[in-house]
């Protein structure tokens, strides 16, 4: 993505800030895969993706004058995208509840085998497990969701998370610790009631 | 690390083996919609700016008017409360 984003030059940004439509369109076309991938990774509802991406670009347009150029433009846009996802999650008041009975039989099978350290079955699909984790993570608070997806699913470092979100390292670490504790408790709860 | 946290770690490690989801292209016409949205926002911002300037201009006119009014009131000669009787007329009255 970094190579792709390097197409966005200072001149292009300046032209977009002056209101030139071609420059603005070029920026959108260049950065929309990045913005959509961030939105997709953090928001489960597909219907929301386009609305959130539009909101991200609207914020980019409104704040373009604040871009100081001390970091790559795509980093700056990534931060806006992540914060927009965070705001969007905060607006959704309802949090799902995941129980054993909600699991697809294949999903339940993969989960059981993984937790009991059994050898995975030949047709076990790790994507099923990823979908399960995604649902369990959605039960957390917005900030916890963002932090845990970045740290545990996207394998980013604490420093990366700080750079991407603008949050302090201690805040990120404490949030991650609390989130992991809650997730572990959720998994234990789901695991302990396979008959329900 | 307790058992529950160990379970979470196991699940995360297993889930990481999933192949990355294929990149989906942004929906068709997305850039055009965002450009249109930007134009709408720019037009709204212009309207707001003109309104702000209009209000400021109206306030400026009001302040100027009040200042001129106050200045003219201060510089006008004070009129006596009771006017002097006309001396020409007083001579013509016969006792």
Residue A194 tokens read as 């396979």
Report pLDDT for A12.
Answer: 87
pLDDT at A5: 45
Nearest CA in chain B to A178: B5
> Which bin fits A19, alpha (ψ -120 to 50), beta or left (φ > 0)?
left
Instruction: Using an 8 Å CB-CB cutoff, list chain A residues near B10.
Output: 114-115, 117
Higher pLDDT, A98 or A33: A33
Quote the pLDDT of residue B1.
58
The string of pLDDT tens digits covering residues A135-181 is 889 999 999 999 999 999 888 999 999 999 989 999 999 999 999 99
What pLDDT is recorded for position B93? 58
pLDDT band of residue A121 (cuts 50, 70, 90) is: low
pLDDT > 90? residue B44: no
pLDDT over 90 at A78, yes or no = yes
Residue range B23-28: average pLDDT? 78
A102 touches chain B (CB under 8 A): no
Q: Is B84 on the interface with A (CB under 8 A)?
A: no
Kindly state the tokens that stand for B9. Answer: 């770690």
Inter-chain contact A36–B18, Cβ cutoff 8 Å?
no
**Is the model more confident about B19 or about B50?**
B50
A80-93, pLDDT tens digit by residue? 999 999 999 998 87
Chain A residues within 8 A of B8 when measuring between CB atoms:
180, 183-184, 187
Tell me the C-alpha distance between A129 and A108, whole Å: 9
pLDDT value at residue A53: 94
**Interchain CB distance below 8 Å, A153 and B12:** yes
User: Residue A39: pLDDT above 70?
Assistant: yes
Question: Is A181 touching B (CB cutoff 8 A)?
Answer: yes
Q: Taking CA atoms, what residue in B is nearest to A29?
A: B31
Nearest residue of chain B to residue A119 (CA atoms): B14
CA distance A82 to chain B (A): 17
Contact B23 A33 (CB under 8 A): yes
Please give the average per-residue pLDDT across A11-26, as a whole number: 86
The pLDDT confidence band at residue B31, using thresholds 50, 70 and 90, is: confident
Confidence (pLDDT) at A71: 85
B88 interfaces chain A, CB cutoff of 8 Å: no
Question: pLDDT confidence of A46, banded at 50, 70, 90?
Answer: confident
Is residue A3's pLDDT more than 50? no
Please report the pLDDT score of residue B95 as a whole number. Answer: 57
With CB atoms and an 8 Å threshold, state whether B11 touches A114.
Answer: yes
Chain A nearest CA to B57, separation (Å): 26
pLDDT at B89 over 80: no
- pLDDT number for residue A68: 83
Q: At residue A182, what are phi and psi to the nearest 5 degrees?
A: -65, -40
């Amino acid at each position: 993505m970094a190579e792709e984003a390097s197409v966005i030059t200072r001149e292009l940004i300046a032209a977009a800030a002056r209101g030139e439509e071609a420059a603005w369109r070029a920026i959108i076309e260049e950065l929309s895969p990045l913005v959509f991938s961030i939105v997709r990774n953090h928001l489960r509802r597909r219907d929301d993706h386009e609305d959130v991406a539009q909101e991200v670009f609207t914020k980019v347009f409104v704040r373009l004058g604040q871009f100081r150029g001390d970091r790559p433009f795509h980093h700056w846009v990534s931060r806006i995208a992540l914060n927009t996802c965070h705001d969007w999650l905060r607006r959704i008041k309802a949090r799902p509840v995941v129980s054993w009975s909600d699991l697809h039989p294949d999903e339940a099978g993969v989960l059981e085998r993984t937790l009991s350290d059994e050898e995975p079955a030949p047709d076990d699909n790790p994507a099923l497990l990823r979908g399960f984790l995604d649902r369990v993570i959605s039960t957390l608070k917005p900030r916890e969701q963002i932090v845990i997806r970045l740290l545990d699913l996207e394998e980013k470092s604490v420093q990366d998370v700080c750079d991407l979100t603008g949050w302090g390292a201690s805040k990120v670490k404490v949030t991650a610790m609390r989130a992991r504790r809650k997730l572990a408790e959720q998994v234990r709860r789901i695991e302990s009631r396979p008959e329900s | 690390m307790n058992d529950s946290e160990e379970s979470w770690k196991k699940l995360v490690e297993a889930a990481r083996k999933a192949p990355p989801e294929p990149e989906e292209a942004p929906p068709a016409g997305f850039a055009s919609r965002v450009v249109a949205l930007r134009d709408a926002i720019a037009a709204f911002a212009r309207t707001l700016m003109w309104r702000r300037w209009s209000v400021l201009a109206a306030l400026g006119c009001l302040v100027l008017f009040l200042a001129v009014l106050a200045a003219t009131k201060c510089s006008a000669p004070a009129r006596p409360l009771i006017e002097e009787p006309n001396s020409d007329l007083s001579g013509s009255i016969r006792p």
